[in-house]
Structure 1
Amino acid sequence: MTKPLTVQSDKTMLLEVDNPEYEACRDLISKFAELEKSPEYMHTYRISPLSLWNAASIKMTAEEIVEGLVGFSRYSVPKNVINEIKEQISRYGKVKLVKEESGELYIISNEMGFITEIANNRAVQPFVDGMEGDKIRIKKEYRGHIKQALIKIGFPVEDLAGYDEGNKYPFNLKPVTGGGTKFGMRDYQRASVEAFHAGGRNEGGSGVVVLPCGAGKTIVGMGVMQIVGAETLILVTNTLSIRQWRNEILDKTDIPESDIGEYSGEMKEIKPITIATYNILTHRKKKGGDFTHFHIFSANNWGLIVYDEVHLLPAPVFRMTSELQAKRRLGLTATLVREDGLEEDVFSLIGPKKYDVPWKELEAKAWIAEANCIEVRVPMEEDLRMRYSVADDREKFRLASENPEKLRAISYILKKHATNNILVIGQYINQLEEISQTFKIPLITGKTPLPERQELYQAFRSGQIKQLVVSKVANFSIDLPDANIAIQVSGTFGSRQEEAQRLGRILRPKSGDNTAIFYSLISRDTNEERFGQNRQLFLTEQGYEYEIYTLDQFKETVPEEVLSK
């Protein structure tokens, strides 16, 4: 049998989709390489230093990687690629940051060549306090800065300098939730907590847990909080997320409500467990001024900081985090992909990947819903096509995104799934308002007051309403367990993380039929198609396949008697 993989000397790999060994090969290489292109028959992956260091951080060995490549490769694996894998995997952990009894911080390595190279590199010299024999003394306040500088020159540092314990705050997870159902952590949730904590040793205590939306990242967060047993600062994306974290903590732990603080635009409480939004942290009174609320990081002697949706962490919070390296730091995310290219900063400042589980693995065990992805390509009317042809690229994308013919596609989908719980998700408010008015579906945008939002979400959860139109506010941290159909009408250019987050809105496990469908509406023969292919990269890497229909083909899948209603 012909093997599915071609490994090229430029460190790219071509994976043949129709090969019987495709899935097994994809599951292996996605642990240490990144998917770059996914046309129909041949997917392109690239091996990078960062992808290898993340593999090393979850204990993958060079031998395991090379053996896998050799086993799946059609041709011999180029020697330079094997050497690069061995070199980069060996670099992870070769350079260590340690704290000696004196309290001084040092960079150490068994390889004196590394120490000499680092000591003489201009990028690290501002953070160095001199050489002492075979080690480099670091200025204490620059623990994060030195890690950032070193990763950029190819030295991923293993930080073993330890942590401040912070104020103690012990609590217990409940065996039965507030709602009366039996509660216990799932095996993968417990494994991720243990991988992060590492028995309290310095090898643990900072890093990122990667789990699909709907797989219980909040529960992992609470598990880490409980095992660390210290006062905790939790950073989240918006005020609604604050309420959801608060409700989960009250439902599944014995922490009293009086010990949970909210730090947002509306309230400024500092309690043993404080939940704050990224928005409030990046607030400043004038452009270029100081960040008004950064004092929250020192307002309590925190023992743990949790970064929810760490792939959305704003750049200013990275800057603050570089000065918080003595605190235990947990990042939670469905995808390490960042559209701003700051994955290296997540690695060096929050920590390396500690635990990752493939989405399809959890789907197979019914921990998340089984999802089908369908792309419907919609035509453009002639007048709009003429406007599109003379527009600049940005305007082209908007015209394609707001194509009125998408209303016809929505109509077919709503009729086909009339009894289901449907979310219509989009980028452009005018388009969403038109959809809301045309189909008489309630609309939630960033301007919808919080009480009204909560009321509509609750009505959806209770089954009082079956359909909701939502803007980008629904990209993350909304808990609508019964939503099983999503219709994406427009998005942020080629954002892979947004695609993953939106699919995540319908992945929570369902009672009964545990399936969900994710529709993407794309204007045919436009730049929206190209951006759509890029958006789909992360989910393709996770094993999701997109069925593609023209609008007429999709219409044929809707029963005639349903269409005529």
Structure 2
Amino acid sequence: MTTLRFEDGTVHVGTDDDGDDADADVRAALADVPSVEADPRSGGYRAPAMRYAAVRDALDAAGIDYDDRVAAALDSPLPLSTTYDLRDYQRAALDAWLDADAAGVVELPTGAGKTVLAVAAMVARSVPTLVVVPTIDLQDQWIRELETEFDVPVGRFGGGEQTQEAITVSTYDSAYLRADDVGGDFGLVVFDEVHHLGGEGYRDIPRFLAAPARLGLTATFERPDGAHERVAELVGPRAYRLDVDDLAGDHLADYEVRRVEVELTADERETYDEAQETFVNYLRTSGLSMQSGSDYQKLVMRSGNDPRARQALLAKQRARDVMMNSEAKVDKLARLLARHREDRVIVFTASTDLVYRISRRFLVPPITNETGTKERREILDRFRDGTYDTVVAANVLDEGVDVPDANVGILLSGSGSEREFTQRLGRILRPKADGSTATLYELVSVETAEERVAARRR
């Protein structure tokens, strides 16, 4: 009889004892399944584990009997139940995902309860589940949530631990290392912050997993580089989407974004204009338009052996530093912090140096990629309990961290990424007990390239 086996991140379709006619039937049945290849070493056929469901469906459609040795582990029932009462949009998202054969991406804004949705999906399937997350902080948060909700042990891949259970939470890095070993053990995989699969290396994770049920969670599915199309191939297309404005007022806080324009000082203007002129003059003769990330990479590569390209690259960085870290921004920040001294404030920057400069001037705790895990948790715990009313951070609070409630965000500097902007806005949108409106201030240096950066992210 034809057999299906999981082997090292692949599904093997064995036809050794079935004879030439049976082999021909299997070959014909699998002809339209992507990535299926003949296996000359062991006979039969082999496909990436992610094609398991398609292989099974193709054999069923052709009326071919087979011994499915993969399904025993994937479909092993788990006694899961939840006390969560889903909101109407969470129920709609779950139903849409189930209607899409339990394979696809749900896009909901930060603070909309994507973890709750995932718990409901796990209950709906009640099979062994692997949850994949980008950071150790988020892994700890998921494990606490799942251990509280389910009366089953929760395993961990990452943070120095490799313990597998029927429900296991892994970092993306650990999943990349383990997927080809454990890919036949889970019937459902949940990818939190699923846009990370757009990176080339991480794409092997879903390829090596046989799980027919796949749920991707994100606040911002589409990527400017188009890599979300690959995510859709690996996890499933977008099954459901709501944005911030769909939920503001009813399920998230009402909000307003205030753009605050600031002027460069005379010295800053001179430095900026000189640096910008050097950069633009180089572009005129370089054949680069800087309309895409690939042009920037070309400039970086040229700077290794072309003095003019290096001069242009350094000038671009100088101009960027001036416009993003101007004195007027820090002065405006002082006035905003005074205005909101009774509020919970997160200050966002793109510069670690600026974080420490603000921390020293205003005596607020800093969080950067240099901040240790223990210290970061202590700062956020004190922000949560009200000991601190303000924190300043460089990028590290954009995603993958359980950030306490705040109602004011001050964006001093950032990239042109819509995802980054959405993540930062989401940090202040959890509903407030008093029904108050959240406010995000966006400080922009006028008559600089930052005006275009701000327009792109909006």
Normalised to the residue count of structure 2, the TM-score between the two structures is: 0.75
Cα contact 2:187–2:210 (8 A) shared by 1: no
Matching of residue 274 in structure 1 with residue 171 in structure 2: no
Distance in 1 (alpha carbons) for counterparts of 2:151 and 2:327? 50
Distance 1:349 1:103, change over 3 A: farther
Distance 1:103 1:378, change over 3 A: farther
Q: Deviations over 1:449-492 (max 9, x none)?
A: 2122112111111112111112211001333452010111122x
Letter matched to residue 274 of structure 1: T
Cα contact 1:481–1:508 (8 A) shared by 2: no
Cα contact 1:104–1:140 (8 A) shared by 2: no
Map of 1:60 onto structure 2: none
Aligned runs of 1:22-41 on 2, under 5 Å?
Answer: none
Map of 2:234 onto structure 1: 349
Distance 1:127 1:262, change over 3 A: closer
Map of 1:499 onto structure 2: 421
Map of 2:18 onto structure 1: none
Aligned runs of 1:212-361 on 2, under 5 Å?
Answer: 212-251=109-148, 253-256=149-152, 259-281=153-175, 292-295=177-180, 297-298=182-183, 301-313=185-197, 314-324=199-209, 326-361=211-246
Cα contact 2:263–2:445 (8 A) shared by 1: yes
Distance 1:225 1:404, change over 3 A: same
Distance in 2 (alpha carbons) for counterparts of 1:188 and 1:323? 32
Distance in 1 (alpha carbons) for counterparts of 2:160 and 2:136? 9
CA-CA distance at 1:227 after TM superposition: 0.8
CA-CA distance at 1:403 after TM superposition: 1.7
Q: Deviations over 1:189-220 (max 9, x none)?
A: 1221122123xxxx412100111111100001
Distance in 2 (alpha carbons) for counterparts of 1:281 and 1:430? 33
Distance in 1 (alpha carbons) for counterparts of 2:342 and 2:161? 40
Q: How many percent of aligned residue pairs carry the same amino acid?
A: 31
Distance 1:277 1:143, change over 3 A: closer
Q: Deviations over 1:96-146 (max 9, x none)?
A: xxxx999943539xxxxxxxxxxxxxxx8x7577xxxxxxxx96515869x
Distance 1:101 1:197, change over 3 A: farther
Letter matched to residue 451 of structure 2: E
Cα contact 2:194–2:218 (8 A) shared by 1: yes
Map of 2:282 onto structure 1: none
CA-CA distance at 1:173 after TM superposition: 0.6
Letter matched to residue 141 of structure 1: A
CA-CA distance at 1:427 after TM superposition: 1.7
Aligned runs of 1:359-398 on 2, under 5 Å?
Answer: 359-364=244-249, 366-391=250-275, 392-398=315-321
Q: Deviations over 1:356-398 (max 9, x none)?
A: 124222114x201111011212111122222222323343223
Distance 1:103 1:323, change over 3 A: farther
Task: Tell which has more relative contact order, 1 or 2 (C-alpha 8 A, sep 6+).
Answer: 2
Cα contact 1:481–1:510 (8 A) shared by 2: no
Matching of residue 467 in structure 1 with residue 351 in structure 2: no
Distance in 1 (alpha carbons) for counterparts of 2:28 and 2:110? 41
Letter matched to residue 90 of structure 2: Q
Distance in 2 (alpha carbons) for counterparts of 1:239 and 1:442? 21
Equivalent position SS for 1:337: coil
Between the two proteins, the alignment pairs up a number of residues equal to: 376
Equivalent position SS for 1:268: strand
Distance in 1 (alpha carbons) for counterparts of 2:448 and 2:182? 46
Cα contact 2:259–2:443 (8 A) shared by 1: yes
Map of 1:105 onto structure 2: 30
Could you list the runs of 5+ residues in structure 2 that have no partner in the other structure?
Answer: 1-24, 39-43, 61-69, 276-314
Distance 1:438 1:139, change over 3 A: farther
Map of 1:172 onto structure 2: 81
Letter matched to residue 138 of structure 2: S
Distance 1:439 1:246, change over 3 A: same
Map of 1:141 onto structure 2: 47
Distance in 2 (alpha carbons) for counterparts of 1:515 and 1:248? 28
Distance in 2 (alpha carbons) for counterparts of 1:528 and 1:394? 13
Distance in 1 (alpha carbons) for counterparts of 2:418 and 2:128? 34
Map of 2:310 onto structure 1: none
Equivalent position SS for 2:170: strand
Map of 1:178 onto structure 2: none
Could you list the runs of 5+ residues in structure 1 that have no partner in the other structure?
Answer: 1-99, 109-123, 130-137, 146-156, 175-182, 283-291, 537-565
Distance 1:143 1:344, change over 3 A: farther
Distance 1:399 1:312, change over 3 A: farther
CA-CA distance at 1:248 after TM superposition: 2.0
Distance in 2 (alpha carbons) for counterparts of 1:512 and 1:250? 31
Distance in 2 (alpha carbons) for counterparts of 1:160 and 1:212? 35
Normalised to the residue count of structure 1, the TM-score between the two structures is: 0.62
Distance 1:490 1:281, change over 3 A: farther
Q: CA RMSD in A?
A: 2.9
Distance in 2 (alpha carbons) for counterparts of 1:438 and 1:394? 24
Matching of residue 190 in structure 1 with residue 91 in structure 2: yes
Distance 1:191 1:387, change over 3 A: same
Letter matched to residue 361 of structure 1: D
Cα contact 2:147–2:154 (8 A) shared by 1: no
Cα contact 1:237–1:278 (8 A) shared by 2: yes
CA-CA distance at 1:418 after TM superposition: 1.0
